[in-house]
A and B are shown apart, each in its own frame.
Chain A
Amino acid sequence: MPGIPDYPWYGVIEGDHIEQGDIVESCPIFLPPDNLVIDAGGKPSSATFKWKEQDLIVMSQSCDLVKGREKVDDILLCAIWRRSELAIDPHLGKDSGMEDARKGRMPAFHVLASCVIPGFEREVRVVDFRRVYSLPVAFVRSRTRLSERLRLLPPYREHLSQSFARFFMRVGLPIDIPPFTAKKA
């Protein structure tokens, strides 16, 4: 439409310069055994870790991830799910639940638009703020060198970051003020 600037949701990125909003698909995350016991300073020990594949989105600030001037050792990432993967979810499996998430009524989730870039067609996805991971910067960089990836672009990136902050800083009051409801006649 003439006169309306084009604000695409995604761009396709190549290389290992990572920014907030980069989507790292099929990235392994590692889960130590629940009963892992290690002895600091002792002999090397062995353990069996579980790993699982996860689509992730970078939540760390881009300024902390500048290559060669990193200010963090690990990158903060959140899980993202394809909408079709949530088909059996009691909330997000329904259109009404997705609509609630889209409107921001479920602060634990953030909805990402579908992508129609040729070769990167993706359905609507949901960022899950309850599943947060960290991985070493070098490890994620090595993953990003393997293939091109999608990057969430401004202002959608900042919108995501703000949603995460809102969820993370939530405060539950132990004793809330009773609701101001109308008295029954």
Chain B
Amino acid sequence: MRFATAAAVATLHIPAIYRPRPDEAAEYDRQVDHWLAQQRVARLSDTRPESQILSPTATGWSPIPSNVFADELLDWDVAIEAAPIRPSGTLAARLEYAGRATPTPTTEPWD
């Protein structure tokens, strides 16, 4: 049985991580893109900063952020505070207890 020792580990040869030169990297990217295009596969992300990825790149778009946001156009709070006056009156009612409400039997649950 052999036991690894610290000295043995220290002598292990670990190859350096291969890093292509910039000109090689560009060529690899080109080949990958070519292969993806043949397979009709699109890259889902890239290494650009997120702000660039999310920003429109089409020419003609204004680089200035719009000062109007669609959501802000909606006024959820507006209400008719004072309802228009309609005919009204009072009604004397005699209240009789009709028992506790009961649910309606479900005959066609999906209808």
Which chain A residues have a beta carbon within 8 Å of chain B's beta carbons?
Answer: 26, 30, 38-42, 44-54, 63, 71, 73, 79, 81, 85-86, 88-89, 91-92, 100, 104-109, 128, 130-131, 170, 172, 179-182
Contacts and interface: CB of A to CB of B under 8 A. Distances in A.
B104 A130 contact: no
Interface of B: 64-65, 67, 69, 72-76, 78-80, 82-84, 86-97, 100, 104, 111
A104 to B, nearest CB: 8
A46 B92 contact: yes
Nearest to B95: A45
Q: Interface majority SS on B: helix, strand, loop or mixed?
A: loop
A41 B94 CA distance: 14
Nearest to B64: A182
A100 B86 contact: no
A46 B88 contact: no
Name, among A30, A48, A105, A182, the residue most crowded by chain B CB atoms within 10 Å (CB to CB): A105
21 contacts: A26-B87, A38-B97, A46-B92, A46-B94, A48-B92, A49-B90, A49-B91, A51-B88, A51-B89, A52-B86, A71-B111, A73-B104, A79-B83, A88-B82, A100-B75, A107-B76, A108-B78, A131-B80, A179-B72, A182-B64, A182-B65
B65 A47 contact: no
